[in-house]
Amino acid sequence: MSVSTLPTYDDVVARYEPVIGLETHVELGTRTKMFCGCRTEFGAEPNTQVCPVCLGLPGSLPVANKAAIEATIRIGLALNCSIAEWCRFARKNYFYPDMPKNYQISQYDEPLCIDGHLDAMVDGQEYRIGIERVHLEEDTGKSLHVGGATGRIHGATHSLVDFNRAGIPLVEIVTKPVPGLGARAPEVAKAYVTELRSVVRGLGVSDVRMEQGSMRCDVNTSISLPGAEWGTRTETKNVNSLRSVERAVRSEMIRQASVLDSGGRIIQETRHFHEDTGVSTSGRSKEEATDYRYFPEPDLAPLAPDAAWVAELRAALPEPPSVRRRRLQEAWGLTDHDMDSIANAGPVELIEATIAAGTTSEAARKWWLGGLARRANESGVELDSLPITPAQVASLQGLVDSGRINDKLARQVLEGVLAGEGEPETVVAARGLEVVSDTGALGAAVDEAIAANPDVAQKIRDGKVAAAGALVGAVMKSTKGQADAKTVRDLILERLGS
Ligand SMILES: [Zn+2]
């Protein structure tokens, strides 16, 4: 089907009602894996963090990681779930080349946490998203497809498998279906994942980096005519950024509408989202749960979290992000809309830390929502993955406040810090970026500018002081922006007797 036949988004939401659902996987930041003592460091040499258990060798037996169970219960509590008094792990049987046991230890009809909710904000309006379940499972390994242009299996000459990730604890958070969002569905989906990320990050149980895969999102979408039964849903996988959560819902709504409009029917299937093009392609037709032949995992004892322990974990939960935001909004003196845009862009914690490091809320917001947000966008990473710390942003702003650099030089210093040249102070010294306000040093440049622009100089002598701007500009240019503009202006007026 050619692109030109696709209906517009406005047209789609005028005629169809969407229902969305989100399944989010969070890799826990435990020191060891879910069922063995292997380390979990990201980026280690392939197949160096493996043992008989996570390689699925015969005779090896799993032992559950208590820290992972605790982290999952804390996530459940933070999402207002009930914690099961008794539950079990289950075997989910299927073949994947990067899953050596040919089954995944997961949870099926007895998840650890059930029936909660999380509120997501869009433009000052709150949307309550029901949480169906939060369960614990193990991650698979990773396949690397080599020899093709795209890194995908299509066109590859061979594939390599890295089992370092196999067995890392993975928490799956599944929402209830969310109907009634209308045109807002894509934004609410993004706001929910953003909020979920804040909650999990606040608990300190995962670094929740979507671009590194420690948080991954599958998006279920269906559309139907108003009042009709819900449509068949598809599941879009590989949604690896917050922006793409929104894009995936929107593009799938449009795709499904175009299929229905042309008299076709939606097939229940898995689709793969492509970050680069923003479109999804058809994957496998979706299995039913019965295809996996789930059964209780016989090698692990059931879980029965002690009520007193759960109560202890509940009492020790951190301040929820929504409460924290309200507190900060008041402290920073922001409108709902301003606070929403910060929350949706993600940098609440970064701005908070920058202010704590000694700068104003206005300056902190300017850096994180301005130049740094642009840079993150261009590089396709999250703000907190940029190689700059809140303390460095605060010290950069400190240099501006003290008059040692101006805004223009500050942008160059920022470039230097992002390029790994060290602290702002070091970059200023190494690149010689300090503002020159020494009248002796600037005098020659001022004289040159006057000599080169006799007409302008005459106007100023005649009392047209406003014309001095042109000469200030000339001096700024010849000093590569390093002159202190006020000093230059004073020198010009002094020399021309105005
Ligand atoms: Zn292992």
Question: Tens digits of per-residue pLDDT, 256-286?
Answer: 999 999 999 999 999 999 888 888 888 877 6
Taking residue 59's Cβ as centre, other Cβ atoms within 10 Å add up to: 5
Alpha helix locations (H) across 79-213? Answer: 185-203
Confidence class of residue 478 from pLDDT cuts 50, 70 and 90?
confident
pLDDT in tens, 394-453: 999 999 998 889 888 899 999 999 999 999 999 999 988 888 877 787 888 899 899 999
Ligand 1 centre to CA of 68 (Å) is: 15
Average pLDDT over residues 13-42: 97
Distance of CA 137 from the midpoint of ligand 1 (Å)? 15
Please tell me the distance between residue 164's alpha carbon and the centre of ligand 1 in angstroms. Answer: 8
Determine the distance separating the centroid of ligand 1 and the alpha carbon of 302, expressed in angstroms. Answer: 21
Q: How far is the CA of 63 from the centre of ligand 1 (A)?
A: 11
pLDDT of residue 1: 46
Ligand 1 centre to CA of 176 (Å) is 34
Over residues 329-372, the pLDDT tens digits come to: 999 888 888 888 788 777 888 999 999 999 998 999 999 999 99
Percent of the chain exceeding pLDDT 70 equals 98
Q: 292 CA to middle of ligand 1, Å?
A: 24
Average pLDDT over residues 465-471: 88
Per-residue pLDDT tens over the stretch 288-319: 767 899 999 999 999 999 999 999 999 999 99
Distance (Å) from CA 33 to ligand 1 centroid:
7
**Beta-bridge partner residues of 172:** 25, 135
pLDDT per position as a tens digit, 24-36:
999 999 999 999 9
Mean pLDDT value across the chain: 91
Query: Which residue did the predictor score with more confidence, 346 or 140?
Result: 140
pLDDT of res. 238? 79
User: Cα of 220 to ligand 1 centre, how many Å?
Assistant: 33
* Per-residue 3-state assignment (H helix, E strand, C coil) for 274-307: ECCCCEEEEEEECCCHHHHCCEECCCCCCECCCH
Amino acid (one-letter) located at 126: E
The whole-angstrom separation of Cα 357 and Cα 364 is 10
62 CA from centroid of ligand 1 (Å): 9
Q: Which of 196-210, 219-233, 371-385, 386-400 has the lowest mean pLDDT?
A: 371-385
Q: How far is the CA of 70 from the centre of ligand 1 (A)?
A: 20
Residue 298's alpha-carbon distances to 51, 69, 228, 281, in angstroms, are 20, 18, 44, 38
Q: Which two tokens stand for residue 142?
A: 């990773």
Ligand 1 geometric centre to CA of 59 (Å): 14
pLDDT at res. 463: 87
Burial of 331 (0-12, 13-18, 19+ CB in 10 A): exposed
Q: Which residues pair with 26 in a beta bridge?
A: 171, 215
pLDDT exceeds cutoff 70 at 498: no
From ligand 1's centre to the CA of 464, what distance in Å? 79
83 Cα to the center of ligand 1, angstroms: 28
pLDDT at 278 (0 to 100): 84
pLDDT at residue 485, rounded to an integer: 85
| C-alpha 149 to ligand 1 mean position (Å) | 33
145 Cα to the center of ligand 1, angstroms: 23
H helices of 357-405, in order, are 361-369, 371-379, 390-401
pLDDT of residue 149: 80
Predicted pLDDT of residue 483: 85
Residue 245 has pLDDT above 90, yes or no: yes
* C-alpha 53 – ligand 1 centre gap (Å): 5
Q: How far does residue 355's CA lie from ligand 1's centre (Å)? A: 42
Per-residue confidence (pLDDT) for residue 289, from 0 to 100: 67
How far, in Å, is the centroid of ligand 1 from the Cα of 86? 26
pLDDT tens-digit readout, 370-380? 999 999 888 88
What does DSSP say about strands 103-106 and 17-27: parallel, antiparallel, or unpaired? Answer: unpaired
- DSSP secondary structure of 207-230: ---GGGTSEEEEEEEEEE-TTSPP
Q: Tell me how far the alpha carbon of residue 55 lies from the centroid of ligand 1, in angstroms.
A: 7
How much distance in Å is there from the Cα of 161 to the middle of ligand 1?
15
Location of structure tokens 């979990």: 40
The rounded Å distance from CA 100 to ligand 1 centre is 12
**Residue 418 CB coordination number (10 Å):** 17
Phi and psi angles of residue 254, each rounded to the nearest 5 degrees, phi first = -65, -40
Measured between alpha carbons, how far is 20 from 135 in angstroms, rounded to an integer? 20
The structure's pTM equals 0.81
426 Cα–ligand 1 center, Å: 44
In whole angstroms, give the CA distance from residue 70 to residue 337. 36
Asked if the model's pLDDT at residue 109 lies above 60, the reply is yes
The percent of residues in the chain predicted with pLDDT above 90, rounded, is 66
Give residue 2's pLDDT. 47
- Output the CA 40–ligand 1 centroid distance in Å: 9
Q: How close is the Cα of 376 to the center of ligand 1, in Å?
A: 35
